[in-house]
Amino acid sequence: CIIGLVFGSFGSVLASRLVSGGPLVFGSSRCPTCGNALKAWHLIPLISWACQHARCAFCNAKISVFYPIIELATASAFVFIYLKYDISFELAIFSAVSFLLIVIIAIDMRDKIIPDVLQIGLLVLAAIWTFYRSEWTHALEGAAVAATLGFGLRWGFFWLKKRESLGMGDVKFLIISGIFLGPFILLPFIFFAGVFGIITGTLWNRLGHGQEFPFGPALSLSLFLCLTVPEISHFFWGIYDR
């Protein structure tokens, strides 16, 4: 749990600096309002935010709930993976994947982009996972199916709506997911991404952000579900076996 909180704290910094262009590893954390460098005791995951009543210790500016949510989400994901897989190779890979997915969700919801550097990180992990399982054919088949679906949906939406509805970042994410999951679990992945997308879109609209919403969070949640709980695919195929 503590490891997850620490990674979550770094993830919140990463989500901010990847878009703003600040140093990713080195350099002091600063208040985005007053610019003062934060001390170590200002950066304790969850505790500092709560003890400071969600405000900067220097200028009293409000600190976004965005930071503790990322920390808590990362810790929760790490604990879930540990309870399911114990100390194992799966624990290491899935924890790394979940960390990147949470950062992707945070950035896509705020800035509506999925940075290529995070996609490359997922691609490297997908290659390691495939090598570990010795399922290169399975992975290539999944990537091919995902590419066909991704570009088909992108062009199909563009033809129907005369505007871009599925970004290239989403298409890249689909292809990487195909490498992770292979063709058999890819269709359940698409199904659950659609379910999460409906939920995300409804909440997005209810909160007053308009009809267009980022699809990255739905894709990320679905990949996490299908990768860490692969038996969920039996539920999907069971629906169509009835």
3-state secondary structure string across 145-202? HHHHHHHHHHHHHHHHHCCCCCCHHHHHHHHHHHHHHHHHHHHHHHHHHHHHHHHHHH
Cα pseudo-dihedral 52, 78, 106, 35, rounded to 10: 40
What is the reported pLDDT for 15?
83
First-to-last CA distance in the chain? Answer: 41
Query: What is the predicted pLDDT for the residue at 164?
Result: 64
Residues 48, 57: Cα–Cα separation, whole Å: 10
- The CA angle 58-63-64, to the nearest 5 degrees, is 165
Count Cα neighbours of 155 within 13 Å in the Cβ-side half-sphere. Answer: 6
The DSSP string of 194-226 is HHHHHHHHHHHHHTTS-S---SHHHHHHHHHHH
Q: Compute φ and ψ for 117, nearest 5 degrees.
A: -65, -35
Q: Quote the pTM value.
A: 0.86
pLDDT at 199: 92
The residue count for the chain: 242
Q: Which two three-digit tokens encode residue 159?
A: 């033809």
pLDDT value of residue 41 = 64
- Return the H-helix or E-strand segment holding 92: helix 89-111
Amino acid present at 177: S
For each successive 10 residues of the chain (242 residues), what is the average pLDDT? 82 80 64 68 72 76 82 93 94 96 92 90 96 90 91 77 73 94 89 91 82 86 94 70 44
Q: Which residues contact 58 (CB under 8 A, 6 or more apart)?
A: 31, 34, 36
The Cα 213–Cα 219 span in angstroms is: 12
Give the whole-angstrom CA distance, residue 79 versus residue 84.
9
